[in-house]
Amino acid sequence: MSSEIEQPLAGGVNQVIQHENGRRAPHIARRTNPWPTTAAEAEAVQEQLRPLMDLTDPGPLTVDFIAGLDVGYAPDSDEVTGAVVVLDNTLRIVDQATSRQKAKFPYIPGLFAFRELPPLLTALDRLTITPDLLICDGYGLAHPRRFGLACHLGVLTGLPTIGVAKTAFVGTHADPAPTRGSWTPITLDHDTVGRALRTRDHVKPVYVSQGHRISLDNACAHVLRTTPAYRLPEPIRLADRLSRTNPPA
């Protein structure tokens, strides 16, 4: 009995939807068609996929497995290393995977996903456990075309996703109060697209935005819940560390 439904998507992707049953799931998402080459092609893909993102689903309040994702860059080559670390409720590592490969797109602000998605999707495919929630290093809704990395990854995997960035990118926001848990809205064209969220007292805030299938409130709750010690949520911090290693391709 298959729990997967393959569904063609515009923009060079076939989506494999995961259903409720079964945690073990190779091929969370798979790319089939050519990857965009030009900025214009990439922007067109974002426009095509954006209607598929779900921002109304409040998402899970509690999860069994939460994954952090990040990409590291080699100093002297055009290779990128995607890393995924899966944590349980107690923030213990229960699974992790990497993928090192040649970069398939240059770094262009606003088109970040086309550089980082390939190694991240491959790494996700190598997991033994299917996470219930993904925390990405970068933006989601807070994006010039409202479709940052977290949204893109959410649509491709069907999983709830959150974007957590370390610096401001779009929109305006006030500085949140200095205590952990304080936040201010990030506004873009009269819309709230995310929050500047203080995860530690007197430490620079992080920038949280919805990716897919989760509310902004719940996204921030998960970020705070998984940030017991450092500025960044543990899943991302550990994925960042893993992405700096130099694993086999």
Partner DNA sequence: GCGACAG
Partner DNA sequence: ATCTTGTCGC
Which residue in 115, 120, 74 sits closest to 246, CA to CA? 74
Q: Which residues make beta-bridge pairs with 165?
A: 207
Query: Of the candidates 167, 189, 190, 248, which one interacts with DNA according to CB under 7 A?
Result: 167
Cα gap 131→25, rounded to integer Å:
10
CA atoms of 224 and 181, how far apart (whole Å): 7
215 vs 39: CA distance, rounded Å: 30
191 is in an annotated binding site: no
What is the SS3 assignment for 129?
Answer: coil
Among 113, 133, 156, 220, binds DNA (CB under 7 A): 113
**Interface with DNA in residues 123-142 (CB under 7 A):** 137-139
Site string for DNA, 196-225 (x = CB under 7 A): ------x-----------------------
Q: Which of 165, 188, 214, 238 binds DNA (CB under 7 A)?
A: 165
Residue 137 annotated as lining a ligand binding site: yes
Q: Which residue matches tokens 């999707």?
A: 121
Rounded to whole angstroms, what are the CA distances from 114 to 5, 101, 162, 189? 24, 13, 17, 25
- Per CB under 7 A, does 143 bind DNA? yes
User: Cβ closer to DNA: 161 or 218?
Assistant: 161
Task: Tell me the two tokens of residue 72.
Answer: 């590291």
Question: Is 56 an interacting residue with respect to DNA (CB under 7 A)?
Answer: no
Instruction: Name the residue type at position 76.
Output: D
Among 53, 84, 120, 149, binds DNA (CB under 7 A): 149
Give me the least distance between CB of 225 and DNA, in Å please. Answer: 20
Smallest separation (angstroms) from DNA to the CB of 58: 22
Size of the site for DNA (CB under 7 A): 26
Note whether 143 and 110 are within 8 A (CB): yes
DSSP H/E element including 236 = helix 234-243
Position 75 contacts DNA (CB under 7 A): yes
- Judged by CB under 7 A, the residue of 11, 110, 118, 235 near DNA is 110
Distance CA 247, CA 123 (A): 11
Q: Which is nearer to DNA, 131 or 205 (CB)?
A: 205
| Residue list, annotated binding site for Mg(2+) | 70, 137
Residues binding DNA (CB under 7 A): 70-73, 75, 107, 109-113, 137-139, 143, 148-149, 163, 165-169, 202, 243-244
| Residue list, annotated binding site | 70, 137
